[in-house]
Amino acid sequence: MIEEIAEKLNIPSAQLRELIDRGIIKEVEGEHPHLFRFDKECGAIENGTAIFVHEKIDIVRGFPKIRRAMILDPTIKRHFDCPTVMIEEKMNGYNVRIASIGGEIFGLTRGGLVCPYTTEKARDIIGDAFFKDNPDLVLCGEMVGPDNPYVPKDIYDIPSLDFFLFDIKKKASGASLPIAQRLRLVEEYNIKSVRIFGEYPVNEASAAAREIVKELGRQNHEGIVIKDPQTKIPPIKYTSSQSNCGDLRDGFRFYNDYGRPFFFTRIVREGFQAVEWNESEEELRERCLQLGESILKPMVYTIKSRKRGEQIGENVQIKVKYLETAREFEAHLNRMGIDAVFEEPEKVDGGYLVKIKRLYQSTNDKTMSVLNGELW
């Protein structure tokens, strides 16, 4: 078995054994088929790469980190050594990979765990036809909408939760299909896709990208991903100020649970965008106010809530067809180390609504201790 996995991963089997020994490849407990996942990236193999072991070995490569442009020009020109680039929308939800393993569809989250909620949705949304014809492909996309337990957003006019595809990859190699081929497939199988703004000559792309990002920002949308149509060159991403500030609002509400670098990088993006967009005094002042409000207001909200004795947390919800899915999802959050309280399911059209309070214990405790007069 080791030999077969190593061959599919294209690494020596001795190295594979070492990765298992060092705990970089971890078994995910309680999964059928058996599942192992890469807990860190390792050489060319991405963090979140999943290895399913059933009557055969199925590998679903991790979704690679998309690197970020801090300014559009000259970054696009410098990065893309190809005649044109495609600009697609980067939606704000959570990244999933959908694959068929032994004839059954599974939804994987970024880290390579099977998410029961995502799996139920994927089976519902995608159906069987695509994977019957293409068992060795992986659908990569964003799960978006208000019934999103990880990143709930109301900005898209989506009633519950929906899947928007942005990449189709080959299972074991992780190679992306060229964009034209991907678009033919989504049309053929009627799969929703993220918005595609168009194909631009590389030299004109940064000007186009800037206008697109500004418009997306006005709608509070996240940003764009810029891609080589042949998918030979890795894509890069760029986000709107409204998205950076939205992240800061989410983060500072739970200021002691988010990492320091999360805040820092989002703040630095604002500095480079202000310079690239050559803002007037008045525009810069407005950006400063937005930034300051995105940082301070959520923190003030949290401190005041805690002062009133409330638990610091975030209300999210899922809508499931089967109660079993909600129970499995609770176990899944647990396994991920996420602290969450599930309310009793409510019967709704087509299934159950389950309200969940996700707790942020570190922010909760730190805020309390300061309010009680402890030193920092």
Phi then psi dihedrals of residue 203, to 5 deg: -70, -25
What is the torsion angle, in degrees rounded to the nearest 10, for the CA atoms of residue 243, residue 248, residue 254 and residue 257? 100
Minimum distance of its own copies from residue 370's CB (angstroms): 5
Count Cα atoms within 13 angstroms, Cβ side, for 364: 11
Minimum distance of its own copies from residue 47's CB (angstroms): 18
Minimum distance of its own copies from residue 96's CB (angstroms): 25
Q: How far apart are CA 139 and CA 118, in angstroms?
A: 13
Out of 151, 303, 338, 353, the residue judged to bind its own copies by CB under 8 A = 303
Phi then psi dihedrals of residue 214, to 5 deg: -65, -45
Round to the nearest angstrom and report the end-to-end CA distance of the chain.
53
SS3 assignment, position 188: helix
Task: Tell me: does residue 371 bind its own copies (CB under 8 A).
Answer: yes
Q: How far apart are CA 222 and CA 368, in angstroms?
A: 33
Task: Tell me: does residue 90 bind its own copies (CB under 8 A).
Answer: no
Task: Tell me: does residue 274 bind its own copies (CB under 8 A).
Answer: yes
128 vs 293, beta carbon nearer its own copies:
293
Task: Tell me: does residue 183 bind its own copies (CB under 8 A).
Answer: no
Task: Tell me: does residue 295 bind its own copies (CB under 8 A).
Answer: yes
The helix or strand, by DSSP H or E, that contains position 294, with its residue range, turns out to be helix 281-307
190 vs 369, beta carbon nearer its own copies:
369
How many Å is the Cα radius of gyration of the chain?
22
Out of 12, 30, 43, 74, the residue judged to bind its own copies by CB under 8 A = 74
Task: Tell me: does residue 160 bind its own copies (CB under 8 A).
Answer: no
Determine the interface stretch with its own copies among 34-42, 72-80, 86-94, 317-325 (rule: CB under 8 A): 72-80
Q: How far apart are CA 230 and CA 202, in angstroms?
A: 14
Task: Tell me: does residue 77 bind its own copies (CB under 8 A).
Answer: yes
Task: Tell me: does residue 309 bind its own copies (CB under 8 A).
Answer: no
Looking at residue 247, its amino acid is D
72 vs 137, beta carbon nearer its own copies:
72
Q: How far apart are CA 31 and CA 29, in angstroms?
A: 6
Decide if 256 contacts 362 (C-beta within 8 A). Answer: yes
- Of 208-267, binders to its own copies (CB under 8 A) are 236, 252, 255, 260-261, 263-265, 267
Enumerate residues 6+ apart whose C-beta is below 8 A from 255. 298, 299, 302, 363
319 vs 366, beta carbon nearer its own copies:
366
2 vs 207, beta carbon nearer its own copies:
207
Residues that bind its own copies (CB under 8 A): 67-71, 73-79, 236, 252, 255, 260-261, 263-265, 267-268, 270-272, 274-275, 284-285, 287-293, 295-297, 299-300, 302-304, 307, 370-376
